[in-house]
């Protein structure tokens, strides 16, 4: 079985909220000081699911991610956690922030790797919290998909999947190849051993460009960032005093009405 795991490198979601700000000129979120880059939380669970299938049934696990050269750090962490091969898709293959373009690049990579039996990804990325890419990727590949997945059992040419629903869960059977977007309830990601970390540092990480993926003639972006605005989180407190509670209440009501709040 050949499994592809799609991962995304994101700033540490546990970084102090006060260090986050929006660079409105660049339309980019920033952290000061810079937050450590990590593998998106749900993608870690997708990687662990692949590693467990590899341990129990035998499989080859290829990890792919789109991003700048420093994404290699996340890819090597993925190799240490069970991946056999890693591929970085150069950011020129898809405009930053365009989820459809990212899905197109990932789809081209999966086709280039083919045949692929199973594609795994996290249900959402913890930076933008949208969950668009996995379902777009499944549509572009023309394969069945399920999301969010909390259990899976591979079989002969199929996989039995347990997915969350609004009122519980659903058990379904999907033919291979298919795509599964997993949730954190599915497993507990393993900690890489020192040996696996050292071995990962010696493994090559391939880089595929837009030309390698055959994406030179891709149509315009599906989504473009027009403006990213930082939310004003400043707070102020104004005390309303009166000689009696009734007077204080009347003063407060007058103040709220004057400011158009009631």
Same domain, 241 and 200: no
* pLDDT score of 217: 54
Same domain, 64 and 117: yes
Same domain, 156 and 104: yes
User: Does residue 172 belong to any structural domain of this protein?
Assistant: yes
Same domain, 208 and 254: no
Same domain, 56 and 167: yes
Same domain, 167 and 241: no
Same domain, 245 and 144: no
Tell me how far apart the alpha carbons of residues 32 and 14 are, in angstroms, rounded to a whole number. Answer: 14
Q: What is the CATH number of the domain that holds 69?
A: 3.40.50.620
**Read out DSSP for 80-114?**
HTT-SEEEEEPGGGS-TT-HHHHHHHHHHHHHHH-
Same domain, 124 and 31: yes
User: Does residue 69 belong to any structural domain of this protein?
Assistant: yes
User: Does residue 192 belong to any structural domain of this protein?
Assistant: yes
Same domain, 20 and 120: yes
Same domain, 158 and 241: no
pLDDT in single tens digits along all 262 residues of the chain = 999 999 999 988 888 877 888 888 887 788 888 888 899 999 999 999 999 999 999 999 999 999 999 999 999 999 999 999 999 999 876 765 688 889 999 999 999 998 999 999 999 998 888 889 999 999 999 999 999 999 999 999 999 999 999 899 999 999 999 999 999 999 999 999 999 999 999 999 999 999 999 987 555 556 777 888 877 767 778 888 888 999 999 999 999 999 888 8
Same domain, 133 and 246: no
Same domain, 209 and 245: no
pTM: 0.83
User: Does residue 223 belong to any structural domain of this protein?
Assistant: no
* pLDDT score of 63: 98
Structurally, the chain folds into a number of domains equal to 2
Domain housing 242: 232-262
User: Does residue 218 belong to any structural domain of this protein?
Assistant: no
User: Does residue 226 belong to any structural domain of this protein?
Assistant: no
């Amino acid at each position: 079985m050949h499994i592809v795991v799609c991962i995304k490198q994101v700033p540490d979601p546990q970084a102090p909220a006060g260090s986050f700000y929006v660079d409105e000129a660049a339309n980019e979120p920033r952290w000061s000081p810079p937050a450590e880059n990590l593998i998106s939380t749900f993608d870690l669970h997708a990687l662990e699911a692949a590693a467990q299938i590899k341990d129990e049934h035998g499989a080859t696990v290829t990890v792919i991610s789109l991003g700048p050269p420093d994404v290699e750090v996340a890819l090597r962490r993925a190799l240490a956690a069970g991946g056999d091969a890693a591929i970085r898709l150069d950011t020129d293959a898809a405009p930053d922030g365009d989820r459809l373009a990212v899905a197109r690049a990932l789809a081209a990579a999966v086709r280039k790797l083919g045949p692929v039996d199973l594609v795994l990804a996290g249900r959402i990325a913890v930076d933008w919290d949208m969950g668009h890419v996995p379902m777009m990727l499944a549509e572009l590949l023309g394969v069945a998909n399920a999301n969010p997945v909390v259990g899976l059992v591979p079989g002969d040419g199929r996989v039995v999947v347990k997915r969350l629903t609004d009122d519980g869960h659903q058990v379904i059977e999907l033919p291979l190849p298919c795509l599964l977007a997993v949730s954190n309830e599915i497993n507990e990601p393993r900690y890489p051993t020192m040996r696996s970390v050292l071995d990962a540092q010696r493994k090559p990480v391939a880089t595929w460009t837009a030309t390698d993926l055959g994406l030179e003639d891709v149509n315009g972006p599906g989504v473009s960032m027009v403006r990213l605005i930082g939310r004003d989180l400043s707070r102020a407190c104004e005390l309303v005093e009166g000689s009696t509670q009734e007077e204080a209440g009347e003063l407060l009501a007058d103040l709220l009405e004057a400011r158009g709040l009631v």
